[in-house]
Structures are given as C-alpha cells and as structure tokens.
Amino acid sequence: MANPVILTVDDDPVVSRAVARDIRRRYGDRYRVLRASSGPEALDALREVKLRGEQVALLLADHRMPEMTGVEFLEAAMDIFPAARRVLLTAYADTDAAIEAINVVDLDHYLLKPWHPPEEKLYPVVDGLLEAWAVTPDAASAEIRVVGHRWSAPSFKVRDFLARNLVPYRWLLSDDPEGVRLLDAAGATEADVPLVVTPEGKALVAPSEAELAALAGLTVVPACDFYDLVVIGGGPAGLGSAVYGASEGLRTVLVERRATGGQAGQSSRIENYLGFPDGVSGAQLTDRARRQAVKFGAELLSAREVVGLSEAGGARLLRFGDGTEIAAHTVVLATGVSYRVLDAPGLADFTGRGVFYGAAATEAPSCVEQDVYIVGGANSAGQAAVHFSRYASRVHLLIRGADLTASMSRYLIDQLERIDRITVHPHTAVVGGAGEDHLERLTLCDTRTGEARSVDTSWLFIFIGAEPRTDWLDGVLVRDDRGFIVTGPDLLAGGRRPAGWSLSRDPYHLETSVPGVFAAGDVRAESVKRVASAVGEGAMAVSLVHRYLEAQ
C-alpha cells in the first residue's frame, strides 16, 4: 500500500521548497510529500492521487495565491479528500482570512509565516493532525470496492450506509469489466450483488450493516456492561448529549442504528446554524461533533438497534435486536424522526430504485442532465433542491400548498428563486409511479382540479412530514397520539404525576414518564424541529442527568 500523501501549495518557489523540505525531513519515511505552485495545479495532483486509490493525510496551503486563494483551494479539495486535515499558511496580516476559513472549510489549524524553528512551531501541529487523521475511517483502508447494479435497492443501501458514515469506497457496476472480474474472483454472479471487497481482498456478498460497520472500523460491541449514560440516537441531539456527558466525566456510550448525523447529517448545506455564516454541510457538522465526542471519551456504537427499555431497580436496561443488553444509571432518547412514506400506487416497488427518502447524496452524480422531482416544502426539501440543481438539468419541487412561505425559511426560499434550474410546482401531489426494473414515470395531480398528468423521470426524493421511531417504547413511556415522547410538565394531568412514577418530585423538564430516562430533539413532543434546538436539548438533558444522579 502506497504511503499517504502530504501536499503543500505555495506560489512562492522559495517558501514552497522550504515547506516541502521541512515536512519531508520529519515525515518523508512515512508519507509521500508533494508540492504544487498553485491551487489548480494542486487540485490536478489530488485528482491523480484519487484515481490511483491513494490517500491524502494533510493539506498545507498558502492563503495569498493568484488564481485561487488558499481558502478556495481547501474548499475545493474537501470534495476530493474530505477527511484530509487542512492547514492554512498565513502572514500576520491575514489572520482574518484564517478565522473565516475555520467556518468555510472546517480548518484544522493556521500557521503564521515564518514558522521557524519547525521543531517548535511546525512539527507539534503536524504531529497532532496526522495522529487525528490516522484514526479516521478514511485512513483505515486504501480502498473499499462495492460492486452492484445501478437499480438494485440492496446496492443502494450499502452505498448509502458507507457514505453516511464517511467511509470512502469505489462504486463499480456489475457489468463493468472490473466489476465482472471481482464477481468472478468472489465466485458470485450479478444476481448476488451487492458485493463488497476489502483492501485485503476479502469478499462479502450482501453484507449486513453490522458487517459493514465492522469492515469500516466502526465499533459495534460495547466495551462495558454498565454506563452512567446511554444516548440512543446519533443526530444533533444525541451528539450534543454525548459531547456534554463525556466532557463532564460521565461514562457515556452513544448507540446509533445507522449513521451519526441523522437527517441533519444528510443535509447538503445548513446555512442558519449559529457560528457558520457561510453555511456548513450536515456531514461536516456531524464529523466535527463525532470527533469531539470521541475526544472527550464517549464510546460510539454503530449499526446497533435498541429494541427494549426496562427498569431494574436503580438501573435502566436496554436490549439490542440480537438479544444482548447493556445497563446504565440514565438514558437520553434522541432517536429523531423518519420521513413518512408516500402512499401512492407503484412507489413502494421502487424504493431504492428511483424512489428515495431523504437527500440520498450518493445518487446526485447519477442525476446529471436529468429531471429530478422532490416532494416536500420544508427546509430539508429546499436544501436538497439546491444540492441536486448542481447536477440535474432541472429540479421540480412539488408542494401541496400555494407557496413555500408557511414551511420553509425565508433565506432558503430566496435561494431557490435565484436558481434557474429549480421550478416550484404548487398544488401538486404524486399519485402514482410506474416502470420496469426502476422508476420511469410519475403521475402528478393538481390538488385543486384533480387533473392528472404523466412525467418521465427516474428520480423521486421524498421529504414529507416526520414520524418518530418509538413503537418499541409502547407501554413503557407516555407518548402522544402521534408517537412523540411526552416529557416534563406535560406529563402532569390535573396536577397528578404519571402512572407508575416512583419519585416524590415532579418529572424534570426533559424527563419522561420513567425516572432517569430523558428525551431530546425531534423525538420529544412539542420540540422545535431545528438543528440548533436539538443540540441545545441534548446538552440540557445532560445537566438534568447530573441533577438526577446527585439525588440518588
């Protein structure tokens, strides 16, 4: 396996040679050091490295360069190697640019020139960044290859799982020459896809999510039987709880069914989150929060589904789908919500084969020069429309109402209006879908007149409503008529505490009808469905966890 790459970019030949010399002197035995004299030249080098299946560990870019600034280069480089650590080289007068870059490109560090002596000002920084990169999934393997059929729902699930967990992979169609060779080598056929091949050559046919998680180096088995705090759900609320719980000394484990980030993690751009004036992608925000939780000592379990919750004296028992259990003093439920299924004839047959729930970012490059249809009028649908407009020839946003003002943020409405490729269709509903091995046609209906029309498309992305995944808590916790978890003062009926409540006090604000079990984020009844409020509730839940533990 080739050594990972460290790339330096500077238009000043003297500085460029000095940076590369200092980096090569200390790291040349373990890393391949490349240097470029401009942003475009550096991007070309990164694309070559990508094609060879090699990895990039670190990018060091000078800020003041012609054609493309260092910040612009690092932003473009994120699309090629998102896990590479990023450093901006600045003069004393450019510190404002460095601060801007922290938001724009998730900058890891900025170095003031000159950095001599490197033993004091350069190497300690680079050492820390390379150590952080080495434990990311991107560094764990040179290349995972996925062989599948374009319109195979199981193939889509594998790709979606890897992408949402930020695990790099190469996608090969089952009828491509290399795909055929891999299938033959694994003793599999086109009917067996998806096939996943590890860098070591191990072949997995139709692997489960647990197998994929283990393959990617994600943790699937808890390290302990008992914790201070178990957080169920890895969206913004769950990650907030994990960060604050672990940072405040609680033995904390976060359990996620699919991938950290939840629906927010699938967002192409969140532009109204505090502290990110230029916006931040859901994946970047998720990656930051996950790294932060791990840094403070939180344990993250992936591809594990909790199916049961019960009391055992002062402990709370959580049962996994495989029958195993863990216990804790306290629990934070942050399982979020799922998009509702669009109930129209023919659509269920094409789920994962042209019909997708959520952004499904893995599919965007396949939509080039095609028509994409999106159902939904909230922010998530608007963000998806903006994202797909970069690829599709036209994006059709279908809404039942007269306009978007009732359900979408103003900044996003203004953004949609500025993009010529996006068309909003008011008073429009999807009433049917048809095709052979994948979606090929949709039937749309004018909700005012009942007039129906047929459109040709292979792409439908659905963002309608939200349903909490709380059926497994039926009979355990008090839920409202839609399945959202009731907490705090809302549990008091006529001044009486909920049935079975065993304590002499009323439930805390985010506490459920079981003492020591809290709910945060979208799964909680009457919560504000925003990323910032979910993070806030996750943090607030931990403060209430401390209050609960102190009283025991």
Per-residue pLDDT tens listing for the chain (552 residues): 578 999 999 998 888 888 899 999 999 999 999 999 999 999 989 888 875 668 899 999 998 888 888 888 988 888 778 889 999 888 755 566 656 666 666 778 888 877 778 888 889 999 999 998 987 755 544 578 999 998 999 999 999 999 888 788 889 999 988 888 888 888 899 999 999 988 777 889 999 998 999 888 889 999 999 999 999 999 999 999 999 999 999 999 999 998 888 878 777 778 888 888 877 788 888 888 999 999 999 999 999 999 999 999 999 999 999 999 999 999 999 999 988 999 999 999 999 999 999 877 778 888 999 999 999 999 999 999 999 998 999 999 999 999 999 999 999 999 999 999 999 999 999 999 999 999 999 999 999 999 999 999 999 999 997 799 899 999 999 999 999 999 999 999 888 999 999 999 999 999 999 999 999 999 999 998 889 999 999 999 999 999 999 998
The fold of the 346-463 domain, in CATH, is FAD/NAD(P)-binding domain (3.50.50)
* Residue 533, Cβ density class (10 Å: 0-12 exposed, 13-18 middle, ≥19 buried): middle
Q: What does the DSSP assignment read for 497-528?
A: PPTT--SSSPPPTTB-SSTTEEE-GGGBTT--
Structural domain boundaries in the chain: 3-133, 142-214, 224-336+465-549, 346-463
Is 142-214's fold the same as 346-463's? no
- Predicted pLDDT at 138: 56
Radius of gyration of the chain (CA): 25
Q: What is the spatial distance between Cα 378 and Cα 404, in angstroms, rounded to a whole number?
A: 8
Q: List beta partners, residue 316.
A: 311, 328
Secondary structure (3-state) at 76: helix
Single out the residue of 332, 341, 120 nearest to residue 230, CA to CA: 332
- Predicted pLDDT at 42: 93
Q: What is the pTM of this model?
A: 0.76
Domain 224-336+465-549: CATH class, spelled out: alpha beta
Instruction: Assign domain 142-214 to its CATH superfamily.
Output: Glutaredoxin (3.40.30.10)
Q: What is the spatial distance between Cα 290 and Cα 119, in angstroms, rounded to a whole number?
A: 30
The fold of the 3-133 domain, in CATH, is Rossmann fold (3.40.50)
